[in-house]
Structure 1
Amino acid sequence: MNIDDAVTGHTLSDIPKLRILLSIPAAEFNAFIPAATRTALDELGHVTSIAPSDLQSPGAFARAAFDADVFITAWGFPKLDADRLSLAPNLRCVIHAASSLHALVSDDFWATGIPVSQAGAAMAPAVAELSLAFTLNLLRRINRLDHGLRNGETWDGTRNIRRAREICGARIGVVGASRTGRRYIQACQALGADVRIYDPYVQESDPLAALSTDLESLFATSDVIAVHAPSTPETTGLIGASHLALLPDGAGFINTARSTIVDMDALYTEVSSGRLDAALDVFDLEPLPADDRWRSLPNALLTPHLGGATANSRRRAGLIVVDELRRFLGGLPMEHALTRTDLEKMG
């Protein structure tokens, strides 16, 4: 539906332009806001672009925010507490170009009733794809084979590792039927995997309900476990040593969500023993230190928390921002708006 058509008696050209504070870290600005996206924003409002690092002092924030109707934010933007909100008296809407809002909003912000939206949906396909790549890698033992050939193992010795498996028919367990989890599930099923899930929030009417099981059964019957749950107080420490011990010998464990969900010491014990393989995009300490214990394991595949950071996902996030702004300007509900209750269930 055209936004112009949705606004009774008005077109966007009839509505006064908003004053927009666009604050994206300099290193990511062009990825989120390429030329075409910036042109679209300029058509919707008077845009002032200032990096979050330049808004940290109250004075700098006040000068940039005082006249702004809309904040477009990303990582590093100052937390919107009572003091900051008092410096932005005209603020009517916040659109977060990234995913998690926990570092941005506050009790004071929710009390204002100002609508807030985020572009986390842009990252779901990218994270799901990395998780799928990890799955194929662990099933086919690619990281172990590569490590063996590069580090002095004989040809026959490398070929003699535990036999690889195909994803068709593999038993895949998914912890968390999130946006990302659902994309991952679809991808695995398309390749013939037998998928089961653990997510206490899946309703009986949900098509995924037929795949649901308890956490212990999921671990005991899976060739690969992939974590796609949010990081919340409820999920902190959700996966412990007792769950990991249930995984069959040679199984794989994937985490592209948050390390707080897993007992990382228990996971390290299992992986360093050689019983399990792991593929990790998230860690307790980031950046991962050069001498970190995980770096030395040949059966641990590691990436530096970049699951959602593809060129495609960044462009999608910028387009979501533009679309949300158009909807707000046209008097329509934003598609990715969140409430305080929503945020309590999200990472």
Structure 2
Amino acid sequence: MIAVSLTPELREMFLPPPIWADLVKLGPVVPMEEAEVLVTGWETPRLDAETLALAPRLRLVAHTGAAVGFLVSDALWDRGVKVTQTGAAMAPAVGEVSLAFTLSLLHQLHRFDHDLRSGASWTAARAHARPRRELRGSVVGVVGASRTGRAYLELVRPLGARLLLTDPLIGADEAAALGAELVPLDDLLSRSDVVALHAPAIPATRHLIGRGELALLRDGAALVNTARSWLVDSDALLDELRSGRIDAALDVFDEEPLPVDSPLRALPNVLLTPHQAAGTVEAQRRQGRSTVEEIARFLVGEPLYHEITREQLRWTA
């Protein structure tokens, strides 16, 4: 028996009629109090002891997103409830947006767009841009060999970038197999033309990129963040961006929606999108399919493909 904790909008997004039909074949949709399986979304309340007391039969949480840190609790793990998510389904779309950000920053499209929309002259718009760079031959540093990090690497590598990678969980051989040189974070930051963040939002990565790390970026470098704002000291980043020393493309923010009066909105060296890197039709359908397929595996006693355990949560997005 399956409960669905999704807003109508999210249900339509992830579980349109063909996918919904496959879901209900697996079991009746029931209130959470009766459910063995709970399908969750971004607006599902945290599954703490109080909430779990309302779901005594719960054995599986199938999350339609990637990050589950906001949702799970020790009470959930202590009950032995399994958790699965759809990060793998989202990775191709996020990788593509990260690539689009990278190309836009290297070619200064964000500055050209800002100037021309703001009424700057043709000549001024050209003069305000930094010298443009091609991706081929540029040094691109990737922070995190996560699913999205690997999807990004797969896209960037054939275009001729020189790749650096930092991740505490992989070795030099695995990095080389991904086409990258494994280096410490400080080395990556100081050498890269573009730094793309793909690390998970866990306690160990809180403000991984702080004031000192940002200072290591060379003048004219660019920062791409399609992961989580958790990874970056936003005040320090704003100071660097206001100085004009670096450029950035950001899909994630400390406060969402981004306030209308946010100073980021006025900066010509920043490209902004509203936390929609994974929001393609294809990704949403993959997320729904992945959720249903995981539930089907669970109900027949097969191993889950995308399970997250308490221990893994410390290191995975």
Give TM-score scaled by structure 1 length.
0.86
Aligned Cα root-mean-square deviation (Å): 1.6
Q: Distance in 1 between matches of 2:56 and 2:119?
A: 65
- For structure 2, the 5+ residue unaligned runs are none
Q: Secondary structure at the match of 1:90?
A: coil
The offset of 1:205, in angstroms, is 4.6
Partner of 1:141: 108
Give the corresponding residue for 2:77: 110
Q: Which residue of 1 aligns with 2:297?
A: 327
The answer to whether the 8 A contact 2:143-2:165 is kept is yes
Give the CA deviation at 1:209: 8.8
Counterpart of 2:8 in structure 1: which amino acid? A
Alignment size in residue pairs? 314
- State the TM-score, normalizing by the size of structure 2: 0.94
Letter in 1 for 2:281: A
Alignment-mate amino acid for residue 269 of structure 1 = D
Distance in 1, matches of 2:35 and 2:291, equals 16
User: In the alignment, what sits opposite 2:47?
Assistant: 80
Cα distance in 2 for residues equivalent to 1:214 and 1:244:
15
**2:62 alignment partner, SS class:** strand
Q: Indicate the structure (1 or 2) with the bigger Cα radius of gyration.
A: 1
For residue 205 of structure 2, the aligned residue among 235, 254, 258 is 235
**2:287 match:** 317
CA contact (8 A) 2:209 2:232 kept: yes
Give CA-to-partner distance per residue, 1:97-143, whole Å, 9 cap, x none: 11122222211111121222111211111111111110000000001
In 2 relative to 1, CA 210–156 (structure 1 residues): closer, same or farther, beyond 3 Å? closer
Structure 1 CA distance, aligned partners of 2:110 and 2:180? Answer: 33
Answer yes or no: is the 8 Å Cα contact 1:69–1:92 preserved in 2.
Answer: yes
Secondary structure of the 1:46 match is coil
TM-superposed CA distance for 1:74, in Å, is 1.1
CA distance in structure 1 between the partners assigned to 2:82 and 2:210 by the alignment: 38
Pairwise mapping of residues 147-226 of structure 1 onto structure 2 (< 5 A)?
147-160=114-127, 161-206=129-174, 207-208=177-178, 211-226=181-196
3-state SS of the aligned residue for 1:172?
Answer: strand
CA displacement at 1:164 relative to structure 2 = 1.0
* Distance 1:85-1:260 versus aligned 2 partners, 3 A rule: closer
Q: Which residue of 2 aligns with 1:97?
A: 64
Gaps of 5+ in 1: 1-18, 49-63
- Check conservation: 1:230, 1:346, Cα contact below 8 A: yes
Classify the secondary structure of the residue corresponding to 1:75: coil
Looking at structure 1, the residues matched to 178 and 160 of structure 2 have their Cα atoms a distance apart, in angstroms, of 16
- After superposition, the Cα gap between the structure-2 partners of 1:81 and 1:273, relative to the gap in structure 1 and judged at 3 Å, is closer
Q: 2:270 aligns with which of 284, 297, 300?
A: 300
| Aligned twin of 1:24 | 6
- With over 3 angstroms needed to count, the CA separation of the structure-2 counterparts of 1:88 and 1:150, relative to structure 1, is closer
